[in-house]
Chain A
């Protein structure tokens, strides 16, 4: 496949705007002297180029996409349509409040519903992604302790099963990370937690269900231990799809949460964004929320900056169009749909796990929540076939592989999250494929290392890419 630069022919172009109907400005700026070597293609070439790229990109529309921890559910076009309305796309963020009542209403409606679902008192829609939300939530915790004269609380407790963004966010917020080991059931070791929670604890970051797909039965004890030590509890909402409408983080002892609108609330992943990571908090933290607060005044909605706010985490108020999609989704599925979604997600995961558990060792052989983790450690020891090999084998069967090598507490891990939008027959067919790939790999281990066989590109050399990075096309002068 050629790059767009290789398709360029000097002089090719399309005219999209007219010549200016006013005189040219004086040439009084220090000019760009370096040639601008952007692609020079006709529109038909661009159209074909991106069509070819789309053909080599796998979306949820292309088939089963059981990436654990990512919630690759169906993204409704109805939400896209709402986000494309000119009444949303054409609005400048710095228009007067009176001229953006629709946008402000979208935001307050979404805030209200997310608060209801999470059991929080207030929501900010400013963070642009889950990790961004984590960072924001941690800043709230930091500001709270500082304001209370407890600046010595410099440590954040993070389970060793946590997603990498958790410790990374804690570091960005200036905290030291203390790892909490998981017990043999994959859950937080409460004895270890008790040992480490103390006067230097700012808080705990946790997701429940956790990254091995299990609901931690000790959750209330865990949050109490941290509160007793004077710390706050942060809920990583990446796995909310398992519990929304069923249990609420606010009822489990959490003080701050973040949500992923691009996972749980069906906004599309876009190949890596844009997402949206709203943060919710209990009332005692609300003064510190970043950005502006929307309130009702004189019969209309308006934006006000909270004076004690922790700052801003991006220029404007939210990844607004992503919020629009999430709102359309919640309005569509409604009160019962929220619960049905979670129930369907958990059922589908259990069903797929059930179909696979005789052949694939499960990291924890108990009923799961919305995702489950398989371990191929024994397979690797006995045959040399790795989780990676199995994953690549699934590609030949038209299935996007599950998440590989995460969480770190399971060796040769494959984590599958089917989501609630998959049909039973999809799960049955997927199970067949998983079982056949495993059989095949056991019978012919050497061949397993050569999969996939059916794709244009096979086993890219990642070592070479990292050692001598080539990260832009080498343009001729």
Chain B
């Protein structure tokens, strides 16, 4: 019923006539569609609905989901406070409905916003060059591995402390390239760097390490980079963008490529997407970055302006020789991240990072008092692993928390749970969570 075809049937009849078509059937026949392929109808699609009815239907579906008051689960998707202005800016119809800025004269605003985003990412990561964004952190890691490969070096070493979802995507992309991946074991919650030294070789393209890692622990990224470089390989650091306000940057650690998930920068949880992968590299690797990149230049009058640049890497020019097939840069998500960083500023971002740390440390202590066991005793950012006596207790804890409108830590199996706390959690909700856990463990 709702349709976005504006012309009336009468107008369409006139237009058909102007083209020399008797009717739509004649139009399709003349356009070469064989009669026998043409469908009569689409039984599996319901009849169209008015906007009001569609709205009701969608609201009904949304109501079937639980949106928790307190969220203590991260594992790659984090609930942070999103300033109102972020939604306001990114809702502007020009940004929302524009196409990729191939026509620079009509897109200076969009191009400049990407240039600013690229600058933000370089600043955060401490690297020299950034692209305009890719699909998510995991695909960014996979693309980074390909950046590091050459004819001789194709194997990728992935730390077991990297998010398993990221590792899965890296392996899937490696299947595409017929390249090998090897897991570097973890020990006590961090990458076993002694094992790394033994595993790395002349055929290693890069080492993939995450900071903070999947268990929330701080890695010695400088040492991993040093090991990689001594073996002639590259170091790819997957980093959390909020943590970069206070933790040693991949640039400072000597990484060749820094990637990560940009979702914490103003993008809501959204059941997993759309998110944003950021990619930054040192000067040497700049031309190996995949995807879109915006550069500064001047126009015919010498005015400063921006254009898509280094397009010779990309699919529309190089085709099968392109560095990647990627076309999209998750532009609206990159804009979201850039607006978030603009209004947060260095002090704001630092405040978020320190608040996350403070809350997470507080939660860990309260959970330990409640009877859960600390698993790794190491410096951590805002996530940590705790252990319950058995899986039955884990389920009971999560059920009890659920009844209190709390999303508890992610079960990892074997009684372990990965907990997270961000700046959004008031002290009271952490106290309540600990009280619930205490009660369940005491049963």
Given A59-B93, A164-B322, do A82 and B54 touch, yes or no (CB 8 Å)? yes
Specify which of A94, A163, A315 is in contact with B166 (CB 8 Å cutoff).
A315
Closest 4 CB pairs of A and B: A334-B48, A87-B62, A316-B272, A311-B172
Cα(A366)–Cα(B119), bound, Å: 49
Q: Is the CB of A336 within 8 A of B48?
A: yes
A330 in the interface (beta carbon within 8 A): yes
Query: Contact mask A154-175 → B, CB, 8 Å, 1/0?
Result: 0000000001110111111110
Categorize the interface residue count of chain B: 35 or more
Is A91 touching B67 in the complex (CB atoms < 8 A)? yes
Chain A contacts for B21, CB-based, 8 A: 350, 367
CB distance from A409 to the nearest CB of B (A): 13
B18, B97, B305, B318: the one contacting A168 at CB < 8 Å is B318
Let me know if A275 and B175 touch, CB within 8 A.
no
Neighbour of A347 across the interface among B16, B81, B104, B346, CB < 8 A: B16
Q: With an 8 A cutoff between CB atoms, is A359 at the interface?
A: no
Determine the distance from Cα of A56 to Cα of B21 in the docked complex, in whole angstroms: 41
Residue interface mask A119-146, B partner, CB < 8 A = 1: 0000000001111101100110010000
Could you tell me the distance between the alpha carbons of A173 and B309 in the complex, rounded to whole angstroms?
26
Instruction: Please give, as numbers and ranges, the residues of chain B lying within 8 Å of A80 by CB-CB distance.
Output: 91, 96
Bound-state CA distance A280–B232 (Å) is 42
Q: Does A293 interact with chain B (Cβ within 8 Å)?
A: no
Number of A-B contacts (CB under 8 A): 676
Q: Quick one: CB contact mask for A12-27 with B, threshold 8 Å, 1 for yes?
A: 1111110111111110
Question: In the docked arrangement, what's the CA distance between A406 and B341, Å?
Answer: 37
**Please, how many angstroms separate the alpha-carbon atoms of A20 and B51 in the complex?**
43
Contact for A172 among B94, B96, B324, B347, CB less than 8 A? B324
**Residues from 187 to 235 in A contacting B, C-beta threshold 8 Å:** 214-217, 220
Choose among A113, A139, A335, A424 the residue that contacts B176 (Cβ–Cβ < 8 A).
A139
User: Given A31-B247, A139-B176 in contact, is the A90-B67 Cβ separation under 8 Å?
Assistant: yes
Q: How far is the CB of B393 from chain A (nearest CB, A)?
A: 16
The distance from the CB of A253 to the nearest CB of chain B, in whole angstroms, is 10
Q: Is the CB of B329 within 8 A of A334?
A: no
Residue from the list B67, B299, B410 in contact with A87, Cβ < 8 A: B67
Q: Which residues of B contact A322 (CB under 8 A)?
A: 273-274
Determine whether the beta carbon of B116 is less than 8 Å from that of A458.
Answer: no
Q: Specify which of B34, B98, B325 is in contact with A169 (CB 8 Å cutoff).
A: B325
- Mark interface residues in B105-148 (1 if CB within 8 Å of A CB, else 0): 11111101101101110111010011011011111000000000
Asked if B233 lies at the interface with its beta carbon under 8 angstroms from chain A, I say no
Residues facing A in B24-44 (CB within 8 A) are: 24, 27-28, 30-34, 37-39, 41-44
> Are A461 and B66 closer than 8 Å at their CB atoms?
no
Distance of A70 Cα from B101 Cα, bound (Å):
13
Q: Could you pull out 5 A-B pairs where Cβ atoms are within 8 angstroms? A: A1-B109, A168-B325, A248-B37, A312-B172, A347-B12
The reply to whether the CB of A65 lies closer than 8 angstroms to some CB of chain B is yes
Cβ–Cβ contact B65 & A400, under 8 A: no
A313 within 8 A of B: yes
A335 CA / B298 CA spacing, docked (Å): 50
What A residues does B116 contact at CB under 8 A? Answer: 3-5, 473
A308 within 8 A of B: no
The reply on B293 being an interface residue by CB < 8 A is yes
Q: Of the candidates B47, B132, B222, B426, which one forms a contact with A334 in the assembled complex, judged by CB atoms under 8 Å apart?
A: B47
Find chain A residues with CB under 8 A from B314 CB. 164
Specify which of A128, A290, A473 is in contact with B273 (CB 8 Å cutoff). Answer: A128
Bound complex: CA A269 to CA B96 (Å):
7
B321 near A: Cβ within 8 Å? Answer: yes
Interface string of A51-64 (1 = CB under 8 A from B): 11111111111100
Judge whether A268 is part of the interface by a CB distance below 8 angstroms.
Answer: yes
- Give the residue among A19, A40, A272, A324 with the most B Cβ atoms within 10 A: A272
CB closest chain-A residue, reference B410: A94
Q: Tell yes or no: B360 within 8 A of A by CB.
A: yes
Contact between A333 and B129, CB atoms less than 8 A apart = no
Decide yes or no whether B268 CB sits under 8 A from chain A. Answer: yes
Q: Are A17 and B98 in contact (CB under 8 A)?
A: no
Question: Could you say which residues of chain A place their CB within 8 Å of the CB of B329?
Answer: 272-273
**Interchain CB contact (< 8 A) of B110 among A33, A53, A88, A354:** A53
Q: Which residue of B lies closest to A322 (CB)?
A: B274
Any B CB within 8 A of the CB of A304: no
Known pairs A252-B37, A340-B5; A334 contacts B332 (CB<8 A): no
With A1-B108, A34-B252, A316-B77 as contacts: A350 and B64 at CB distance below 8 Å: no
A141 CB, nearest partner CB in chain B, Å: 11
Contact of B163 with A by CB under 8 A = yes
When the two chains form their complex, are residues B328 and A131 in contact, meaning their CB atoms are under 8 A apart? Answer: yes
Neighbour of B331 across the interface among A102, A168, A169, A272, CB < 8 A: A272
A343→B21 CA distance, assembly (Å): 12
Contact between B348 and A14 (Cβ–Cβ < 8 Å)?
yes
**Are A46 and B339 in contact, CB atoms less than 8 angstroms apart?**
yes
| Chain A positions 434 through 477: 1 when the CB is less than 8 Å from some CB of chain B, otherwise 0 | 00000000000000001010011111111011100111110100
**Are A16 and B83 within 8 A (Cβ)?**
yes
Cβ of B45: which chain A residues have Cβ within 8 Å of it?
A: 113, 116-117, 245, 330, 334-335, 338
- Are B66 and A100 in touch, CB under 8 angstroms? yes
B331 contacts A273, C-beta separation under 8 Å: yes
Pick from B4, B11, B163 the residue with the most CB of A within 10 Å: B4
Determine the chain A residues whose CB is within 8 A of the CB of B113 once the complex forms: 50, 53
Q: Does B310 have its Cβ within 8 Å of any Cβ on chain A?
A: yes
Known A-B contacts A41-B343, A172-B176, A215-B31; A271 and B357 likewise in contact (beta carbons under 8 Å): no
B402/A456 in contact, CB under 8 A: no
Interface residues of A in 375-432 (CB under 8 A from B): 391-392, 395, 400-401, 404, 406, 420-424
Residue of A nearest to B28 (CB): A246
Contact yes or no, B427 A337, CB < 8 A = no
Measured in the bound complex, the distance between the Cα atoms of B5 and A341 in whole Å is 7
Collect the chain A residues with CB atoms within 8 Å of residue B330's CB.
Answer: 128, 270, 272-274
- Tell me how far the C-beta of A424 lies from the nearest C-beta in chain B, rounded to whole angstroms: 5
Residues in B whose Cβ lies below 8 Å from that of A347: 12, 15-16, 19, 24, 27
Q: Which of A61, A312, A334 has the most CB of B within 10 A?
A: A312
How many Å lie between the Cα of A469 and that of B293 in the bound state? 10
A36 CB within 8 Å of chain B: yes
Of B68-76, B183-191, B197-205, B434-442, the segment with at least 4 beta carbons within 8 Å of chain A is B68-76
B112, B261, B344: which has the most chain A beta carbons within 10 Å? Answer: B112
Docked complex: B315-372 residues within 8 A CB-CB of A: 315-322, 324-333, 335, 339, 341-352, 354-355, 357-362
